[in-house]
């Protein structure tokens, strides 16, 4: 059985006080409720990590960062390394989010480097892929996602793939209110699993959690999660409100 996961991506929202309050309320909620098979991860801004880690310490919720540096250490003013992330108590890091690809020009080669550094630091990676609208309209979405996975991820060993979660996030659905239909999500997730099967074999493909991201909310989560190759979600906007986030987890 593969893991079912809901990960919240807070992006650049919440000051420290607000973030601690949100993390505390989500943690408290799940202290009393069984999580079943679902894994829950909060991906916070860097400066929240150490304090949120204290809050989550005795609970069931895991912690992640949204990025890490492409170098291990040294004179890189303003950067935060994968080892630093790990030292806060975080277990996960998002790599390759479309906002990093677009606004910070992170290409496949750089993302591959970051992924390998994160693995070496002992982090698990939520590796994002997905096409922009013009690529979908030109029916190139499969080619794009294939390239992103081949160049960003497929240099990993089969063993390292155990520490990977893939998130398919069609860029046209992120923060826009537009959601991929459950069938569109399933079609791409199945394709991603086939690519992983061809590269790493059936066992690896069967174990790989593939999350959907892009305007996922309480009203559409259950339908998207009902698809056989959709193993949960990477949630942006709706992860900033405790009630919305917990109902998405409950939909899983």
CA distances 139 to 136, 196, 211, Å, are 5, 21, 22
Answer yes or no whether residue 174 interacts with ligand PGA by CB under 6 A. yes
Taking CB under 6 A as the criterion, the residue among 213, 221, 225, 252 binding ligand PGA is: 213
Q: Which residue number, 64 or 213, has a Cβ lying nearer to ligand PGA?
A: 213
Residue nearest to ligand PGA (CB): 236
Taking CB under 6 A as the criterion, the residue among 147, 159, 175, 203 binding ligand PGA is: 175
Query: Between helices 16-32 and 49-56, what is the axis angle to 10°?
Result: 20
220-249: contacts with ligand PGA (CB under 6 A):
234-238
Catalytic residue among 48, 97, 141, 189: 97
Write out the DSSP string of 85-98: HHHTT--EEEE--H
Nearest distance from C-beta of residue 246 to ligand PGA, angstroms = 15
Asked if 49 contacts 86 with a C-beta cutoff of 8 angstroms, the reply is: no
CA distance 147 to 112: 12
Asked if 151 contacts 190 with a C-beta cutoff of 8 angstroms, the reply is: no
Nearest distance from C-beta of residue 214 to ligand PGA, angstroms = 5
Assess whether 48 carries a catalytic annotation: no
Which of 98, 86, 173, 90 has the alpha carbon at shortest distance from 128?
98
Assess whether 79 carries a catalytic annotation: no
Nearest distance from C-beta of residue 213 to ligand PGA, angstroms = 4
Q: Which residue number, 39 or 213, has a Cβ lying nearer to ligand PGA?
A: 213
Q: Which residue number, 68 or 238, has a Cβ lying nearer to ligand PGA?
A: 238
Query: Between helices 218-225 and 182-200, what is the axis angle to 10°?
Result: 50
- Residues lying near ligand PGA in the complex (CB under 6 A) are found at 9, 169, 174-175, 213-216, 234-238
């Amino acid at each position: 059985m593969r893991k079912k996961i809901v990960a919240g991506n807070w992006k650049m929202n919440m000051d420290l006080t607000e973030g601690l309050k949100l993390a505390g309320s989500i943690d408290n909620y799940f202290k009393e409720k069984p999580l079943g098979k679902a894994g829950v991860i909060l991906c916070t801004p860097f400066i929240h990590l150490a304090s949120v880690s204290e809050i989550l310490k005795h609970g069931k919720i895991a912690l992640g960062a949204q990025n890490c540096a492409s170098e291990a250490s040294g004179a890189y003013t303003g950067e935060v390394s994968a080892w630093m992330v790990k030292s806060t108590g975080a277990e996960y890091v998002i790599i390759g989010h479309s906002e990093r690809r677009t606004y910070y020009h992170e290409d496949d080669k750089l993302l591959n480097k970051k992924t390998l550094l994160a693995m070496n630091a002992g982090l698990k990676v939520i590796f994002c892929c997905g096409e922009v609208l013009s690529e979908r309209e030109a029916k190139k979405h499969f080619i794009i996602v294939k390239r992103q996975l081949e160049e960003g991820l497929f240099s990993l060993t089969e063993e390292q793939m155990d520490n990977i979660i893939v998130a398919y996030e069609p860029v046209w659905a992120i923060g826009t209110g537009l959601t991929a239909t459950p069938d569109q999500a399933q079609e791409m997730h199945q394709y991603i699993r086939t690519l992983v099967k061809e590269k790493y074999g059936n066992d690896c493909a069967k174990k790989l959690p593939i999350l959907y991201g892009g305007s996922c909310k309480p009203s559409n989560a259950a339908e998207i999660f009902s698809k056989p190759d959709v193993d949960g979600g990477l949630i942006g906007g709706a992860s900033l409100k405790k009630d919305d986030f917990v109902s998405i987890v409950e939909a899983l």
